[in-house]
Amino acid sequence: MEPQGTIPSDAQIIRQKVAAISGNDHVEKVLFEDGTSLDTNGLFVAYGVAGSSDFARKLGIAMQNNKIIVDQAMATNLPGLFAAGDCVGGIYQIAKAVNDGSVAGMSASRYVRKLSVIK
């Protein structure tokens, strides 16, 4: 596992639309809409500024009033998926979004560490 706060030296920024993600226990390949693919063992998706509710519904995330439902750890109903900021509702302020993001990030870190211990 990479140390916290660093970006792996082999990280890539790819500005293509993703068609599919495949793998068994983890991400193994990303297929793009143009027919190309990338073998990888990790992925961070930036979906842009479009509304999150349609994307969330496609993933099967529980929603209420077009907002993603999360618990106190910012966890959604899908294991290992966390949400933060405007997409979870509440007051629309930067301070809240920063707090939500911090909680979600720490929760995601704990989730991944538990997976690493099990294997």
Winning range, highest mean pLDDT, from 10-19, 38-47, 73-82: 73-82
Instruction: Give Cα separations from 15 to 19, 49, 59, 81 (angstroms).
Output: 13, 15, 21, 22
**DSSP assignment string, 32-96:** ETTS-EEE-S-------SS-HHHHHHHHT--EETTEE---TT-B-SSTT-B--GGGG-S---HHH
Phi, psi (rounded to 5 degrees) for 12: -125, 145
- Give residue-wise pLDDT tens across range 68-119: 999 999 999 999 999 998 889 887 788 888 999 999 999 999 999 888 665 5
Average pLDDT over residues 34-43: 89
Is the model's pLDDT at 49 over the cut of 90? Answer: no
Locate the domains of the chain by residue range. 9-46, 52-118
CA 1 from chain centre, in angstroms, equals 18
Is the model's pLDDT at 9 over the cut of 60? Answer: yes
In the numeric block, which tokens belong to residue 12?
Answer: 């890539």
What is the percent of the chain where pLDDT is above 90?
A: 42
Model confidence band, residue 6 (pLDDT cutoffs 50, 70, 90): low
CA dist 73 and 54 (Å) reads: 23
Indicate the pTM of the whole model.
0.55
Domain 52-118: CATH architecture, name and number where available: 3-Layer(bba) Sandwich (3.50)
**pLDDT given at position 117:** 65
